[in-house]
Amino acid sequence: MKRVGLFFGSFNPIHIGHLVIAEYMVEFTDLDEVWFVVSPQNPLKKKETLLNEKNRISMVRLAIEYDSRFKASSIEFDLPRPSFTIDTLTILSDKHPKMEFSLILGYDNLATLHKWKNYEQLLKNSKLFVYPRVSAEETPAALATHPSVVITEAPIVELSSTFIRNAIKEGKTIKHMVPPQVGEYIREMNFYAGARLAIKKDTEGKEG
């Protein structure tokens, strides 16, 4: 049975921090693949701050196109909104009965897991691979030591999509923060204010 880790997120945009976590999970845990599940609407985020979901999943596909260990999933695009992890997991499990799904989440998410819809069922039926966060909230001991929870030693990359969006708005280069093909897509589509300026700055003064 193939073991798949579900990495939920807005990916607005996807960046190297996401990819570092995904690579750690397939190399240092028992997961065979990581699926990036693009959320059309996060219940905790304002919808107006998000790019269109089709644009965001396009960036994910560009970022992972040469790595067969990773897949992009649009499963939540056709589900009621806001979408909830337990519902998505149930649908995926029914659709792929020969796959074993686990969740990938940050330590800060683990701290608020008890607020999630049917979180007890998640813990009962799925393994949770947790990556560290510098500013994570304190997690209840019952969750941190739960047999379904695996606290990993994934590298901490203090980089967020919010930081990248703000950097682009300010005309800063994002060359090493996102995969090259994602940066080019942002430039071509002129996503986030100042995207063209940011990429232009990045290309000026190159040798050769």
pLDDT value at 52 more than 80: yes
Secondary structure of 84-126 in the HEC alphabet? CHHHHHHHHHHHCCCEEEEEEEEHHHHHCHHHCCCHHHHHHHC
pLDDT in tens, 152-168: 989 888 899 999 999 99
Instruction: Write down which residue in 157, 175, 200 finishes a domain.
Output: 157
pTM summary value: 0.86
- pLDDT higher at 140 or 69: 69
pLDDT in tens, 59-77: 999 999 999 999 999 999 9
- Cβ 55 vs Cβ 12: under 8 Å: no
Provide the pLDDT for residue 208: 28
Q: At 84, list the tokens.
A: 């909830």
Based on the fold, state whether residues 168 and 136 are members of the same structural domain: no
Domain that holds residue 130: 2-157
> In b/e form, how buried is each residue of 124-142, taking b as 16+ CB within 10 angstroms?
eebbbbbbebeebeebeee
Provide the pLDDT for residue 185: 95
Instruction: Write down which residue in 115, 140, 157 finishes a domain.
Output: 157
Based on the fold, state whether residues 76 and 121 are members of the same structural domain: yes
From CA 32, how far away is CA 175, in angstroms rounded?
29
What's 47's domain CATH number? 3.40.50.620
Based on the fold, state whether residues 202 and 179 are members of the same structural domain: yes
Based on the fold, state whether residues 32 and 65 are members of the same structural domain: yes
Based on the fold, state whether residues 188 and 130 are members of the same structural domain: no
Provide the pLDDT for residue 83: 84
pLDDT value at 202 more than 60: no
Based on the fold, state whether residues 65 and 142 are members of the same structural domain: yes
Based on the fold, state whether residues 152 and 177 are members of the same structural domain: no
Domain count for the chain, please give it.
2
Based on the fold, state whether residues 145 and 201 are members of the same structural domain: no
Based on the fold, state whether residues 115 and 186 are members of the same structural domain: no
pLDDT value at 175 more than 60: yes
Residue 189 amino acid letter: M
Based on the fold, state whether residues 135 and 184 are members of the same structural domain: no
Based on the fold, state whether residues 110 and 200 are members of the same structural domain: no
Based on the fold, state whether residues 134 and 185 are members of the same structural domain: no
pLDDT value at 201 more than 50: no
Helix axes 180-189, 195-203, angle to 10 degrees: 130
Provide the pLDDT for residue 70: 98
Strand partners, 71: 35
Whether residue 155 is preceded by a cis peptide bond, meaning omega within 30 degrees of 0, is no
From CA 167, how far away is CA 164, in angstroms rounded?
5
